[in-house]
Amino acid sequence: MQVTSYGSYDVNRLKTDIDYNISAGADILIGKWNSTPIIGDNSMNCYENWFYAVWAYNGWVRYNQYPYKVWGLIASGPNGWWAGIPVTAVPQSWLDNGIGKQIPTPQPAHFWSPGPPPITEGSFIVYQGNVYRIAGGAPVYVSNWNVFGGPQPVVNVSDAQFASFPQYPRDGTFVLAGPNVYRIAGGAPIYVGNWNAVGGPQPFTTIDPFSVDNAGQGGVLSHLNYRPADGTFIRGVQTGRVYQVRGGAPYYVPSWDPFGGVQPFTDLDQYSIDNAGGPGVLSHLAMPHIDYHFSWYDNINASNWILMANPPGSTGNAAFNLSVAGKAQQLGSVGAGFAQGVVPESKVLYARYPGLMGGPVTVGATGKAIVSQRILWGSSLEEVLGTEDARLSDHYWWPWYDMRSPGYKNWVLVANPGTSTLTYHIKIAGNEVASGSLAPGQQATPTFPGQMGGPLEVTASAKVIASQRVLTNADTAFNEVPGIPDSELSDHYLWTWYDMQSPGAKDWVLVANPGTTSVTYNIKIAGNEVAQGTLDPGKQATPVFPALLGGPVEVTASARVIASQRVTWGPSFEEVPGYPNASLKTSYAWTWYDQKSPGASNWVLVANPGSQAVTYDVKIAGNKVASGTLNPGERTTPTFPGQMAGPVEVTASGPVMASQRVIWSGFFNEVVGS
């Protein structure tokens, strides 16, 4: 055999010792088998399954004709050296731009082992009188031959053979049951609504729908789980969001850090994750229960509503509960026929508790949900999105703290939503300014008169809720900004808009370095670079760009930084954290829209930071109110006079950035979509 990569082989023996030469060549061929895509069930006694290994032996390059020549020689037996052996080559139409990918075994398949037909993917077997079909390596029960067009050839297997099969099909296996395609994750069949959601058509094995509908019932039906095993990781292809399955339900994983780094996961259709707990094919993921957290509630000094919405496209009702400082609060009904706290698709429930002040606030939701607080403080409006359980952290950042500028009051709120006492520390510009202990359900709200600087950091011995609350303009303007979890810090942030042109608008872009080494940064507005520089550890930049108006706004850096926009608009103050580029989505939602109340102006901003055009739709209470196309770098800022309702939803054909900007009686607020 030809051996061109000698490695540790003896070159002289390769030339003179035929047995040594063949052994070396076989070792190399085995290495190619292990490094190339799988064909069929990876059975080594099938000639056709060796096609990629032979290809790679000559060089794993596109449109390599070498394996086709070898297959021709095997079939012809040149010069009578051997009797020709029928083999089937991989059709070139099966290749991916001229290179191999995982495929089923080309048919007809040929085997060199004597005896009964081998058991491969799609084989039918009989064990203890029951028929099964091999899917993903595992035996899946067949209740009726009619599914397969009548009786099929079978292989009888022994106790030992049956015991050698895996309990469940391999994760990632595609199966067809009736008209529906599923992908196996954690042993369970998860619905695939469209091949495009998983990269186009894939090889699949047809199985009996009876086994899908009755998965997990034990006995012959024990080779599929009804829902994925606890601890299974899955990823939504369309969004890139990772989830861990607990109790059969998907729970968002914002960072791999708690799991020691990236873990194996299965790519699934995001539609099935978003609609977990739905009927029929969507029932193989359970509906998750998610708690949303706020650090504080105040309906004494302000008017404070908590809004709970069930977004468009959900497949069922959402159920909510609410507590303040650990005490359950009563929820109303959205209308006749609905129990307290139950919200149907495209509807909103809001709660307000006069005379109540305290924290933390926890809203529990079963089903798809958007949760926010809307606060009227004097004449100013502030909206704060609830922080999901999965995003709670023991380490938060903000780029700035200010209790020195005239008229500014600044609280740092830290609340303990857990069941055990914890300790916390607060630092400004690297200097500790507060520390303490919090019993379960307690909170701290310190201020630091005379302090101005950044970054601001909160650390704790367990997960906490943390935010800044700021009063300006003689206590008439209110702003709250949740802390940025350390695990979500990025080197690339985006905002929809920048405005230093409108009357009364001042707009700072803040970039702070929380690290231990210097970083460089760049700022662009509408694709044009407007600033760059270097930040030493613990330092920050706060540039403004007079007369500029446009978007999107982009900050990039050579390492992780903290970034936000701080805006003063007339009498109001607003801070908006940057949105990490890696977290851009194709769908955003808010609880409410209002361009009907006196003094309210409300814009929905959608910006395309990508390199391809995208289409978008805007819905309010399930009704489409706008749609269009955005070229790379473009944005749209529609308003809808006379509309007041929720929820609000923006969907797009590619990743976009989306926010709402509101002017309320001359006061400004911006909230990024959830």
Q: How confident is the model at residue 329 (pLDDT cuts 50, 70, 90)?
A: very high
Amino acid at 661: R
Which tens digit of pLDDT belongs to each residue from 199-224? 899 999 999 999 999 999 999 999 99
Q: How confident is the model at residue 116 (pLDDT cuts 50, 70, 90)?
A: low
Which tens digit of pLDDT belongs to each residue from 137-146? 999 999 999 9
Is the confidence at residue 495, as pLDDT, over 70? yes
Which tens digit of pLDDT belongs to each residue from 146-176? 999 888 888 888 898 999 999 999 999 999 9
The rounded mean pLDDT for the chain is: 90
Q: How confident is the model at residue 186 (pLDDT cuts 50, 70, 90)?
A: very high
CA atoms of 293 and 480, how far apart (whole Å): 14
Question: In the structure encoding, which two tokens stand for residue 378, read together?
Answer: 């004097």
**360 Cβ contact partners less than 8 Å away, ≥ 6 residues apart:** 293, 294, 295, 296, 324, 325, 415, 416, 417, 441, 443, 465
| Closest residue by Cα to residue 533 from 505, 499, 556, 514 | 556
pLDDT of residue 638: 94
Q: Give mean pLDDT, residues 290-313.
A: 90
Residue 188 or residue 484, greater confidence: 188
pLDDT of residue 2: 67
In order, the DSSP letters of 487-521 are: GG-EEEEEES-EESSSTTEEEEEEEE--SSS-EEE
Is the confidence at residue 482, as pLDDT, over 70? yes
Q: How far is CA 633 from the centre of its chain?
A: 24
Q: How confident is the model at residue 89 (pLDDT cuts 50, 70, 90)?
A: very high
Q: How confident is the model at residue 281 (pLDDT cuts 50, 70, 90)?
A: very high
DSSP state of 504: T
**What CATH class has 584-674?**
mainly beta
Q: How confident is the model at residue 433 (pLDDT cuts 50, 70, 90)?
A: very high
Q: Which of 209-223, 303-317, 495-509 has the highest mean pLDDT?
A: 209-223
Q: Give mean pLDDT, residues 270-282.
A: 89
Residue spans per domain, the chain: 11-94, 124-284, 289-385, 489-582, 584-674
In this structure, which CATH number among 3.40.190.100, 2.170.190.11, 3.30.56.10, 2.60.290.11 belongs to the domain 489-582? 2.60.290.11
Which tens digit of pLDDT belongs to each residue from 353-412? 999 999 889 999 988 888 999 888 887 888 888 988 888 999 999 888 999 998 889 999
DSSP state of 282: G
Q: Which residue has the tokens 């009498």?
A: 571
pLDDT of residue 114: 53
Which tens digit of pLDDT belongs to each residue from 624-649? 999 999 999 888 999 999 999 989 99
Q: Give mean pLDDT, residues 537-560.
A: 92
CB atoms under 10 Å from CB of 435, counted, come to 14
User: Do residues 520 and 532 touch, judged by C-beta distance below 8 A?
Assistant: yes
Give the phi and the psi of residue 126 in degrees, each rounded to 5. Answer: -120, 130
Is the confidence at residue 115, as pLDDT, over 60? no
Which tens digit of pLDDT belongs to each residue from 3-38? 665 566 777 777 787 877 787 788 888 888 888 999
Q: Give mean pLDDT, residues 541-559.
A: 92
- 329 by Cβ neighbours in 10 Å (0-12 / 13-18 / 19+) ranks as middle
Q: How far is CA 188 from the centre of its chain?
A: 20
**429 Cβ contact partners less than 8 Å away, ≥ 6 residues apart:** 453, 454, 455, 538
Helix 51-58 / helix 18-35 crossing angle, nearest 10 deg: 110
| Closest residue by Cα to residue 475 from 565, 380, 598 | 380
pLDDT of residue 7: 60
Q: Do strands 393-398 and 456-472 pair parallel, antiparallel, or not at all (unpaired)?
A: antiparallel
Q: What is the percentage of the chain residues whose pLDDT exceeds 90?
A: 54
Secondary structure class of 223 (helix, strand, coil): coil
pLDDT of residue 371: 92
Q: How confident is the model at residue 600 (pLDDT cuts 50, 70, 90)?
A: confident
Which tens digit of pLDDT belongs to each residue from 644-665? 998 999 999 989 989 888 888 8
User: Do residues 544 and 558 touch, judged by C-beta distance below 8 A?
Assistant: no
Same fold, 489-582 and 584-674: yes
Task: Supply angle C-alpha 14, 19, 22, rounded to 5.
Answer: 70
Secondary structure class of 386 (helix, strand, coil): coil
Is the confidence at residue 63, as pLDDT, over 80? yes
Secondary structure class of 107 (helix, strand, coil): coil
